[in-house]
Amino acid sequence: MRISTFWYCLKQGVINICRNILFSLASIATVSACIFLFCLFFSIMVNVQYVVKNTESTVGITVFFNEGLDKNKITEIGNEIKQRKEVKEVKFTSAEDAWSEAKKEYFGDMQDLAEGFEEDNPLANSSSYSIFLNDLTQQDELVSWLNGIEGVRKVNYSKTAAEGMNSLNKVIGILSMLIIGILLAVAIFLISNTISVAAAFRKNENQIMKLIGATNYMIRAPFVVEGVIIGLVGASLPLIAIYFLYRSAVGYVVTKFSILSGLFQFLPVDAIFPYMAATAMSLGLGIGFFVSFFTIRKHLKV
């Protein structure tokens, strides 16, 4: 394609937008709304996943053993656990370690109060393995396997934490897909309408182009340019808004609700924005290109 032809198509695309400015603005607004919601859910989901990942590294399964179980047997069980593919990390806590931790936790600076137990460790049968998983969804499977091992007395795990995080992620995903889907359909309808109106405006011109010997591509290009511009502008506006909104929202939550910072850590805007911008721009470009391409194909049987 010649540069002059490229500029010609670009100019005609802009002229099309200006000719039906109201339709074009309505299309841009709908694409913007669609992509704004996409970015919003994207931010929420990425942060939830981040929290889930953090939780996965802190929420673990603890395995206790039958009273008087041989140390070699415990080590053997530990090796078996380590070989499971869903297991990320296994930490062994001996009865002595457990008692030492408990002393720190319960007696603090008054360690002398615990001296009476020195010869008789109250947690003598509390040696355990703390298991951390690669993925919390595999927790149930591993727990039932652990319960089946001979010598295992008790398996402690937090079912609600795993299930809560996973179902929250699922609900947000489904909800966002649903809303984005509806908005996407509206955006497709509006862009298609805008392109149809532009095609009607240019009917005479297209007819002349056809008879002069312009290729299909040359006739359709200004309409595709129009769709692409609508898509890209529609994607850029919400991205700018989301960038500042996210930054302010995170700043606000962190300063006003500092108690939450212990529970959740938000991803900084710079960490998520490049991915969000690339996805949103591709989405805008894709919607604009494909909708205009197929609409004008339907209208212009060249």
DSSP 8-state class, residue 63? E
Q: How far is the CB of 22 from other proteins (least distance, A)?
A: 19
Q: Which is nearer to other proteins, 212 or 259 (CB)?
A: 212
Residue 209 engages other proteins in binding (rule: CB under 8 A):
yes
Q: Judged by CB under 8 A, which stretch of 1-9, 30-38, 157-165, 189-197 contacts other proteins?
A: 1-9
Residue 94 engages other proteins in binding (rule: CB under 8 A):
no
- Interacting residue with other proteins among 66, 205, 260, 271 (CB under 8 A): 205
Cα atoms in the Cβ-side hemisphere of radius 13 Å centred on 113: 9
Q: How far is the CB of 302 from other proteins (least distance, A)?
A: 8
Binding to other proteins, residues 263-282 (CB under 8 A): none
Residue 18 engages other proteins in binding (rule: CB under 8 A):
no
Helices (H) and strands (E) in the chain, counts: 10, 4
Nearest to 47 by CA among 276, 229, 289: 276
Cα–Cα distances in Å, from 151 out to 130, 140, 191, 269?
16, 19, 67, 49
Q: Around Cβ 296, how many Cβ atoms within 10 Å?
A: 25
Query: Which residue in this structure is represented by tokens 């380590």?
Result: 82
Q: How far is the CB of 233 from other proteins (least distance, A)?
A: 24
Binding to other proteins, residues 210-229 (CB under 8 A): 210-216, 218-219
- Interacting residue with other proteins among 134, 207, 261, 282 (CB under 8 A): 207
Letter for the amino acid at 291? V
Cα–Cα distances in Å, from 90 out to 69, 80, 130, 132?
19, 11, 6, 6
**How many chain residues are in contact with other proteins, going by CB under 8 A?**
20
Residue 200 engages other proteins in binding (rule: CB under 8 A):
no
Give me the residues that bind other proteins (CB under 8 A), please.
1-2, 4-5, 8, 204-205, 207-216, 218-219, 302
